[in-house]
A and B are shown apart, each in its own frame.
Chain A
Amino acid sequence: MNTAGRIVRLAERDRAEVQFVLDGLMRSALAGDTVLTAMLASGHALRRSEFGPEPRAGFCLMGACQDCWIWQEEGPRLRACSTPVTEGMRLCTTAPENWP
């Protein structure tokens, strides 16, 4: 399969690469990917549920369900389905350690 993660790239594969950091590791995505696409090309989940044991990987992809809010190393969260990935982004699947 063509990605190491959950998603399969079926089209639009001829795009420039973008490097970003996920949980401290360098990962690559394609320019034009959303953060959700970029993360799920490298892994199987975006975050863990706050109310249950299961991992979450988004649900609606149109900014309505709010399932895909993830952390950035510097603090503010972002909605992965509606935020384009950019070069050098530092993303986490869990809350930063210094989060109160």
Chain B
Amino acid sequence: MSEVSPRRIVIVGAGPAGIRAAAMLVEARLHPIVIDEGHRAGGQIYRRPPAGFVRTPEQLYGSEAAKARALHALFDRLVEQGLLTHCAGSSVIAVHGGRLHVLGESGVQVISYDRLILATGASDRVAPVPGWQNAGVYSLGAAQIGLKAQGVALGRRIVLIGSGPLLTLVGAQLVKAGADVAAVLDTSSWRQQMGGFSGLAARPVVALRGLALRARLGRRYHAGVTLERIEADEHGVVALHWRDAGGRQQQTPCDMVGMGWHLRAETHLADLAGCTFTYDEQWQQWLPKTDEMGRAGNGVYLAGDGVRLLGADGAEVAGRLAAAACLADLGYQPPSAGADLRKLARVERFARGLARAFPWPAAMVRALPDEAIVCRCESVTAAAVREGTDFGGSEANRVKSLSRVGMGRCQGRYCQLAAVELVAAQAGCEPDAVGRFRGQAPVRPAPIGAFLRED
């Protein structure tokens, strides 16, 4: 290896993909820099509580405890041995010209890279339900983070709504922990769920585990529901109004609603790094384009849920593949990728089955009443998005500048897909024709003071 000059490789994200990528680079005697927003490595699904918490990985991660334990131990060992540099509690807020602007406790620093591996993960894909701006409405991921990282339920009486594996998982975890879960409402019908079956058969054990979790929910679980509105008083949520699969009106008193329709890839940094995007019909969102190893071009590699929504097991494999691609491009001889590529293909068949079984609720979004809030950040209504479309046409960024949808502090992470759906409905086209909001730096709010230097 002596003929290869050491290069600076930066990994963004210390979840399953980032950790596996880092470990493979270390094996090749490279010293990566790993930047992560978490205070402790692990990512979201294997998120670790703060120091001093006592629950075991078995209590926290259930059937996935061994995987979580292995990843945490691996990363901690690499840090202890000084084989990588871990920038914890730090956010990459901009990418430009081979340089990252990194916001940490001491302000913004610039870190340059020769190769960049983005393992930025995903967040909940949410859809507006009238009333969702009220206090006490959270994402499903939030409900899980509250439980895992803080040992709390975010309400006394909980209703979970949406669709996807997280709906069942979070419901079962909350019930097991002793929370009062009043109902778990799935907008996907049994028929739609059966439609994903051929894909789910690619990983029968995982599929059966999901069914076992579902069974724990018992009569709380309802498939094929229609969500009507979240009722609130001046303190926050008081009830969820919905219709069951038979069309009967239902009202469930609650002070917390958790919502999510599967996941949305976190792609802001890939966008700023110049990646090209394509609309994925099955996952119903724009995803950055890579080759099968995760190469996006220009020295950028993508791995994990930030590029394809394969879940934690897929992310571990994709992290190794991205690192292998990076090593090969630098002139190293990485281990053979054949077995990992076959594993990834199987995981992807399963994940695409999930996407079919638990679809994005397009019809519900298209039918939103005019007064419903679409953008939680700035209270932009469905009417404003529809008027923006009538006035300026169906291009996403044009509607954004006319209505301010997607301009708030979350930068469209939680409203973009719904906004695009509304624009498509209003303009009479498909969501992919509307396009996507351009990512803008800084991708996280940053105080002005962080950019000032004393010297």
Residues of chain A touching chain B, judged by Cβ–Cβ distance below 8 Å, are 1, 6-15, 31-34, 37, 40-41, 44-45, 49-52, 54-67, 69, 76-77, 82, 84
Contact = CB atoms under 8 A, between A and B. Distances in A.
A50 B375 CA distance: 13
Interface residues of B, number: 59
Interface in B202-256: 232, 234-236, 255-256
A8 B138 contact: no
B403 to A, nearest CB: 13
Given A8-B179, A15-B52, A64-B266, A52 B133 contact: yes
Contacts of B44: 62
Interface in B147-172: 147, 149-156
Contacts, number: 149
Given A15-B52, A31-B52, A10 B151 contact: yes
Central interface residue in A40, A56, A58, A64, by most chain B CB within 10 Å: A64
A7 B138 CA distance: 12
Contacts of A84: 39, 50
B272 to A, nearest CB: 16
B137 interface: yes
Report whether over half of chain B's contact residues are helix, strand or loop; otherwise say mixed. Answer: loop
B123 A6 contact: no
B377 interface: yes
A50 B408 CA distance: 11
A31 B150 CA distance: 10
Contacts of B142: 58-62
Given A10-B152, A32-B50, A55 B236 contact: yes
Nearest to B256: A6
Nearest to A79: B445
A50 B136 CA distance: 17
Contacts of A65: 139, 376-377, 410, 413-414
Contacts of B444: 63, 66
* Cβ-closest 9 pairs across A and B: A12-B151, A11-B151, A51-B379, A61-B142, A57-B135, A66-B409, A32-B50, A52-B379, A61-B145
B51 interface: yes
Nearest to B150: A37
Contacts of B363: none
A33 B154 CA distance: 13
Given A59-B138, A61-B138, A66 B445 contact: yes
Given A44-B236, A45-B236, A60 B141 contact: yes
Interface of B: 37, 39, 44, 49-55, 59, 89, 91, 123-124, 133-139, 141-142, 145-147, 149-156, 177-179, 232, 234-236, 255-256, 266, 373, 376-379, 408-410, 413-414, 444-445, 447, 449
Contacts of B413: 64-65
Contacts of B376: 59, 65, 67
B37 A44 contact: no
A57 B151 contact: no
Contact of B156 (A8, A13, A61): A8
Contact of B178 (A10, A37, A76): A10
Nearest to A84: B50
Report whether over half of chain A's contact residues are helix, strand or loop; otherwise say mixed. Answer: loop
A67 to B, nearest CB: 7
Contacts of A54: 133-135, 232, 234, 236
A23 to B, nearest CB: 16
B152 A37 contact: yes
B234 A6 contact: no
A32 B155 contact: no
Given A6-B155, A49-B133, A67-B376, A12 B55 contact: yes
Given A12-B151, A54-B134, A82-B37, A49 B379 contact: yes
Given A65-B139, A76-B449, A82-B37, 4 more contacts: A37-B152, A44-B135, A63-B37, A84-B39
A52 to B, nearest CB: 4
B152 A9 contact: yes
A42 B124 CA distance: 27
A14 B155 contact: no
Nearest to A46: B135
A66 B50 contact: no
Nearest to B52: A32
Nearest to B51: A32
Given A44-B236, A54-B133, A60 B152 contact: no
A11 B141 CA distance: 18
Contacts of A63: 37, 91, 444
21 contacts: A6-B236, A7-B155, A8-B179, A12-B54, A12-B151, A14-B54, A44-B235, A49-B379, A51-B379, A52-B133, A52-B373, A55-B135, A55-B235, A59-B376, A60-B124, A60-B138, A62-B141, A62-B145, A69-B445, A76-B447, A82-B89
Contacts of B139: 59-61, 65
Contacts of B156: 1, 8
A50 B378 CA distance: 7
B151 A51 contact: no
